[in-house]
Structure 1
Amino acid sequence: MSDVVVFEQLATAGDAFIGIARLNAPKSLNALSQEMIDLLLPQLRAWAADPKLAAVWLEGEGERALCAGGDIVKMYESMQPVGERNHFIEHYFATEYELDYLLHSFPKPVLCWAEGVVMGGGMGLMQGASMRLVTATSRLAMPEITIGLYPDVGGSWFLNRTPGHTGLFAGLTGVHLNAADALFMGLADHFIGVDREQVKAALSALPLSGDDDADAQHLHDALVALRGDAPASPVREQFDAINAACEAPTLQRVLDNILAQAERDKWWSRAAGTLSKGCPMTTHLVWEQLRRTRHLSLAEAFRFEWVMSVQCAMHGDFREGVRALLIEKDGAPKFRHHTAAEVTAEDVAAMMVMPAPQHPLADL
């Protein structure tokens, strides 16, 4: 269905308009499908070239989610047999990362209404926006450790830019972040205290003209005027403890440190619980991705991630994690390794081998 993304134009008090892109699959919490990607890419490129476009507004249908992640059910269905190259997976990740990169590099402001659930692929979209708006219901996470993947969609870039070791902690534990956490970690820009229609009405009243600097200032001032009081931030409150746990020079020591504080409080207990039940290979992938991509450009980070993501689909843990969580829902994934200590350097190295003769993102 071509209506999985709805495109609209929001008129303003000036000569320019705001382009609205709405993910329209509320039953799946707006999970990012290949068809959505195929619709978003050409429309965003057309808007980027339109002198009458002042900004893009990205949102999800309904109040429950901007986007709960990628279309991992479709990925699961394609990952058989394990160990072979997979055209769907290779194409999906290439175009998803191309979309994320386009948002990061978009020439006009991109406003993202990050209400409700924003996870995985949704985080990739949100973090590409230049004005990331969170609300009292925002719940952000990179929970790939539960399914045998890792924090992709640019996680190599944005988790490396959070304060202290909070990015590593978030990647290892899949911890759910509220709006205040997102602001503290640099993953959001404005906490909005009114509903989205009020925000759109305020933006529509702006004298936007297509002048980049003037329009950006008008948009910023309008959003500042609509800010509310964010809730408390558990990450901020736990910042010293997170840094103390994650500053160790080896992955195993970091894992031990996090798990040793499982009884610290309910918030930490949930984070440690997700880590303890998660995929052992994922812990190594998070550790390696943040170490190896620390000084890479954004394009280089996406190229690095494409290789690891495709390898995850070829090595079985990813499919098994999706099976246990979303398909058969038995909550008992049989990952290839029982503990992180069982994962060898050779196992990790295999996840970094280029799986195709040519890289689809070579031209980013």
Structure 2
Amino acid sequence: MTDSVLFEELSTACGRVIGRATLNAPRSLNALTLDMIQALDARVADWQGRDEVVAIWLDGAGGKALSAGGDVVALHGAAVKHAGQARNPFAEQYFAEEYRLDYRLHVSETPVICWADGVVMGGGMGLMQGSQFRLVTPRSRLAMPEVTIGLFPDVGASWFLNRLPGHTGLFLGLTGVHLNARDALDLGLADRFLDADPEEVLKALTENRYDGDRDADRARLYRQLRDLGTTPEGLQAAVSDHRDTIESLCDGATVDEVVTRILEHKQCDGWLDKARKTLAAGCPQTMHLVWEQLRRARHLSLAEALRLEWCVAVQCCLHSDFREGVRALLIDKDGSPRFRHRSVDEVSADYIDGFFRNPAPEHPLADLG
């Protein structure tokens, strides 16, 4: 077992328990290693199978993040090791187990409560969006910033970004823009805003007398979290304030057209300027993957979307842009990735089609759903 995830069972007033899982790798902002994913999946499965467990609480240690994402450094190492090969065993295992955990959370009959405080990116978003009660705070910062490293928004993003209003999911995927708690609530990516001590919130939840009826206990949690929630006063509603502009910029027939419209939209607006600059420095391959994953997954179930994403994720680890993006951002930290394509219009449709092909004889997530 690993101490990078801490597990605790909190007794309630009626003798039932709330299972608490705390990601405990604060130096990496709780980036999800394979060991952490395996430990969390096993314990969540155990809690889901026990009638006395009335809820599962997820949070992160260190006070800075729920999770900044997946273990891209380990994935980079495996990508370098298997460069030029047809298979990458570590990437195949990592993404299969991560997505299986995400799916387990999404379909859990035991309510999952996620304390999404601080940085919530990539893999952290997968855990958060799989939870039934997604709690944000004044410090919450959500993003899917994979365009910076040649990956793509995964962990179910093909499914949950497609369910955001208008073109906002596309805009978030292309620009990796950061969202605060107000944005998350406005988009339906969070359920409650709590400006409170998480230990006090947990204490209040344990003081309930649960009766063991799953629906009644879930309703009890709902009402209590509703009553504890407040309005995020003082936080800019950036997405809502820019909604008309986002819709106009993303109203294009092709990804080339949309990217061009965003890059050419230059005005004195700090939030939009930051989004534009991230896109300008981003990976053209990722821009096409974002467009194509949302198009292909538009009518897919969550399980089907995760199967699609597994193929793309593993293929990314077999292609050079992911290696180069992580090298520039996290290994050498020179901030100057040399991506394969210089601009979005250089990427061919045939090249992108290859990312959606399954490199394995059998799909490891074939049984989902």
**2:267 alignment counterpart:** 263
**2:77 alignment counterpart:** 77
Please tell me the residue identity of whatever aligns with 1:146: T
Q: Which 10-residue stretch deviates more, 347-356 or 8-17?
A: 8-17
In the aligned structure 2, how far is the partner of 1:359 from the partner of 1:210? Answer: 38
**1:135 alignment counterpart:** 137
Contact 1:262–1:273, Cα closer than 8 Å, also in 2: no
Deviation for aligned residue 1:229: 2.3
1:174-215 CA-partner distances (Å, limit 9, x unpaired): 000000111111110000021111111111111123211111
In the aligned structure 1, how far is the partner of 2:213 from the partner of 2:65? Answer: 32
Q: Which 10-residue stretch deviates more, 230-239 or 164-173?
A: 230-239
1:47-80 CA-partner distances (Å, limit 9, x unpaired): 1110001010000012100000000111111112
**1:55 alignment counterpart:** 55
Deviation for aligned residue 1:264: 4.3
- SS for the counterpart of 1:232 is coil
In the aligned structure 2, how far is the partner of 1:152 from the partner of 1:322? Answer: 16
**1:149 alignment counterpart:** 151
In the aligned structure 1, how far is the partner of 2:224 from the partner of 2:9? Answer: 19
Deviation for aligned residue 1:15: 3.4
In the aligned structure 2, how far is the partner of 1:151 from the partner of 1:237? Answer: 24
In the aligned structure 2, how far is the partner of 1:210 from the partner of 1:143? Answer: 41
Identity of aligned pairs, percent?
55
**1:306 alignment counterpart:** 310
1:251-303 CA-partner distances (Å, limit 9, x unpaired): 11111111122324000000000000000000000000000000001100000
Asked if 1:326 is matched to 2:347, the reply is: no
Equivalences for residues 1-364 of structure 1 within 5 A? 2-80=2-80, 81-84=82-85, 85-230=87-232, 231-364=235-368
In the aligned structure 2, how far is the partner of 1:261 from the partner of 1:11? Answer: 55
For this pair of structures, how many residues does the alignment match? 364
Q: Show structure 1 runs of 5+ residues with no match.
A: none
In the aligned structure 2, how far is the partner of 1:330 from the partner of 1:109? Answer: 43
In the aligned structure 1, how far is the partner of 2:316 from the partner of 2:76? Answer: 12
Contact 1:52–1:209, Cα closer than 8 Å, also in 2: no
In the aligned structure 2, how far is the partner of 1:53 from the partner of 1:152? Answer: 30
TM-score by length of 2: 0.97
- SS for the counterpart of 1:150 is coil
Please tell me the residue identity of whatever aligns with 1:63: G
Q: Which 10-residue stretch deviates more, 108-117 or 240-249?
A: 240-249
1:63-110 CA-partner distances (Å, limit 9, x unpaired): 100000000111111112423211111100000000000000111110
Q: Which 10-residue stretch deviates more, 221-230 or 233-242?
A: 221-230
In structure 2, the CA distance between the partners of 1:252 and 1:264, relative to structure 1 (3 Å rule), is farther
Q: Which 10-residue stretch deviates more, 220-229 or 348-357?
A: 220-229
What is the alpha-carbon root mean square deviation over aligned residues? 1.0
In the aligned structure 2, how far is the partner of 1:14 from the partner of 1:164? Answer: 45
Please tell me the residue identity of whatever aligns with 1:16: R
TM-score by length of 1: 0.98
Please tell me the residue identity of whatever aligns with 2:35: E
In the aligned structure 2, how far is the partner of 1:263 from the partner of 1:357? Answer: 50
Q: Which 10-residue stretch deviates more, 212-221 or 320-329?
A: 212-221
Contact 1:156–1:301, Cα closer than 8 Å, also in 2: yes
In the aligned structure 1, how far is the partner of 2:277 from the partner of 2:267? Answer: 10
In the aligned structure 2, how far is the partner of 1:116 from the partner of 1:124? Answer: 15
Contact 1:15–1:209, Cα closer than 8 Å, also in 2: no
Please tell me the residue identity of whatever aligns with 2:84: G
Please tell me the residue identity of whatever aligns with 1:320: E
- SS for the counterpart of 1:314 is coil
